[in-house]
Amino acid sequence: MALHFYNTLSHKLEAFAPLDDDKVRMYSCGPTVYNYVHIGNLRAFTFQDILRRYLHHCGYELYHVMNVTDVDDKIIRDSVKAGKSIGEFTAEFRKAFEEDAATLRLEPPERVTPATEHIGDMIDLISRLAEKGHTYESKGSTYFRIASFPGYGKLSNLDVSGIKAGARVEQDEYEKDELRDFALWKASKPGEPAWDSPFGPGRPGWHIECSAMAMKYLGESFDIHTGGVDLVFPHHENEIAQSEGATGKPFARFWLHAEHLLVDNQKMSKSVGNFYTLRDLLDKGFSAAAIRYLLASVPYRKQLNFTFDGLKAAQTSIERLRNFQRRLEEGGLPEGANPAITELAETARKNFIAGMDDDLNTAQALGAVFEFIRDVNTKMDAGEFQAGNVAEANQVLDLFESIFDVLKTEQSGQVSAEEIEGLIAERLAARKARNFARSDAIRDDLKARAVILEDTPQGTRWKYGA
RNA sequence: GGCGCGGUAGCCAAGUGGUAAGGCAGAGGUCUGCAAAACCUUUAUUCGUGGGUUCGAUUCCCACCCGCGCCUCCA
C-alpha cells in the first residue's frame, strides 16, 4: 500500500501524491501565543512532526508553513492584564513554545509566520474578496457573507443555514447580517492595537490570517493542511470560503485533523484540575522522550487518553528499545550473518512502513518494531545472531528512530565515565573476593547517582538512567 | 436535535468475513552471589448490547446503550 491519508474534505482514505512531483507544500495551524501550550496542543504538534518525518522518509522535500497567532482577543485581554504591549507579551510565549517544541524534538517547519508581520497580505486578500462581492461592512467591521459562497460546509459536513441565536451566539458583540457570517476585519476599540486599512482602522479576524499566509507562501493551491479536529468548524471551513472565494481555485487538497487528547477520559480543563503543560510533566520527573512516545504512539485520528500510568508505560517501553540498541553495540558475536535475521529485519521494516503508509498508523508500526526486538533477542540468547546481522538490525532501529526520535538519552549524567569505569573495576575486585557487601554498595551508590550497572557474561556494562 | 470519532484483556492499543498484533502491569520459570538486562510459559473461548446476512462475523447490515468532540474561544 502506498501512502494514504484520511482526508477530512473527501471524508475518506485517499492515496496521497503532491501536486509537484517530489515536493510537499503543507500548512499547519500553529499556536496562539498567550500562554504555555498544553499537552493537548502538543499532541497535535507531535502529529504534525510525525507527518513531516514520514513525508521525508517517503522521499519528499517539504515546504511546511506554520502560523503563530500573535494578535487576537485573548492576547489583547491578557497582555493588558500583564501590563505589557502585545509584542512583549507574545514574544515571551512564542519563545516558550519554541523551547517546548525543541524539548519534544519537534522539527521546526521551514517557515513560521507571525500574523502581525502579514497584516498587509491579509488586507490585500480582504480587498480581493470585497471586489468579488463576498464582503460587507457593518459598524466599522468587515464580514464575509457566507451566502455568497455556495460550497460552504463541505469540509465540516455541517449545515449552517439554520444557525440561530442561542446562548452562545447572542452574546456576539458584532452586528452581522447573518449570524453565521464571520469577521474578516474587526474595528478597533479605543486602546486596542490597530492597523490602517481601506476598511478603516482595525485588526484582522483570526480566519483570514491562515488564508493569507498559506497562499502567500504555498500558492493558491497546495497539498496538505493540518490542525486539530476542533478547527474543522468554523476555522478551516472559513479558510476554504475565504481562499476559494478569492481565487476560484481549490485551496488545500488534503485536510488532516488530529483528534483530541483526553486526560483520565475527560476533556482537559483548568477547573477540573487535569490541565498539564509540558513543563508541568517535566517537573513531575517524566522525560520528554516518554511524553513524545506517548503522544506519538496512539494513531492521530484516535482520541488519546492521557494518564500517568500511560506515561510510565511509555518510559518503560523506551527503555526496552534502548536496551536492545545497547545490546547491538556490545559486540562479541560469532562471525557470519544469519539469513533468518535478514528476513526478520526485512519483515519488520516492511510492516513498519505498511503501518505508516496506512494513514500514519503508529501503533501498527510500533508493533512491528517490538516484534522484531523480541525475535532478535531470542536469537541472541540462542547464539544465532551473528556479527554480520548488526547492521541490518540497526537499520530497523534507525527507521524507527527517524520517525519516533526517542532513543537518544537526554542527560549526560553527573558521573564521569572515567569514575564509573574505576568503580566497576573496584567492584569486580570485590566480587572476585566475594565481598558482596562492598560490590553491592558500589552498585547502589551509582544507582543513587543515576548510573545503572548490569553484569553480563562479557563483563559489567553501565548506562545512565533512573 | 444535526455532524463526527470511538467502545477489543487490569491499563494503552493493532487488526481482519475464517476464527484475536504489540506495549505496560501481574504470575511462574531460566540465567545471576544477589540484582539488572534478556528469554520462556502464562493472562480475552472473546472483541458495548440485541437482532439480521453468511457455511462462518469482532470484522458486513439494522436497532439500541455508553463515552468523547464539534455545531462561531479552543490542538
Interatomic CA–C1' length for residue A157 and nucleotide B3, angstroms? 6
> Nearest nucleotide to A436 by CA–C1' distance?
B33
Task: Provide CATH code, domain A267-404.
Answer: 1.10.730.10
Output the pLDDT for position A466. Answer: 66
The region, left, alpha or beta by phi > 0 then psi within -120 to 50, assigned to residue A126 is alpha
Q: What are phi and psi of A331, to 5 degrees?
A: 80, -160
Listed in sequence order, the DSSP H helices in A151-221 are 206-218
Output the pLDDT for position A163. Answer: 53
Measured CA to CA, the distance from residue A257 to residue A231 in angstroms comes to: 8
Which bases of chain B are under 7 A from a protein CB atom? 2-6, 11-15, 21-25, 32-40, 67-75
State the 10-residue block means of pLDDT for chain A, 466 residues long: 90 92 95 92 95 97 96 92 94 96 96 96 97 93 92 84 44 65 91 92 94 97 94 94 95 94 81 85 92 95 91 94 91 88 94 95 96 93 92 96 90 80 94 93 91 88 83
The answer to whether the A11-258 and A267-404 domains have the same CATH topology is: no
Task: Provide CATH code, domain A11-258.
Answer: 3.40.50.620
Among A56, A40, A29, residue whose Cα is nearest residue A100: A40
Interatomic CA–C1' length for residue A20 and nucleotide B67, angstroms? 42
Among A357, A155, A160, A356, residue whose Cα is nearest residue A255: A155
CB of A126 within 7 Å of some strand B atom: no
Query: What does the block give as the cell for A342?
Result: 535478514
Query: What does the block give as the cell for A290?
Result: 516518554
A272: helix, strand or coil:
coil
Output the pLDDT for position A168. Answer: 40
Q: How large is the ipTM?
A: 0.94
CB of A435 within 7 Å of some strand B atom: no
In chain A, which residues from 150 to 209 place their CB closer than 7 Å to nucleic acid strand B? 156-160, 163, 166, 168-169, 172, 178-182, 206
Measured CA to CA, the distance from residue A373 to residue A451 in angstroms comes to: 24
What's at A373, amino acid-wise? I
Measured CA to CA, the distance from residue A367 to residue A356 in angstroms comes to: 12
Output the pLDDT for position A171. Answer: 41
Residue spans per domain, chain A: 11-258, 267-404, 417-464
> Nearest nucleotide to A230 by CA–C1' distance?
B70
Among A460, A380, A375, residue whose Cα is nearest residue A420: A460
Contact (CB, 8 A) for A300 and A351: no
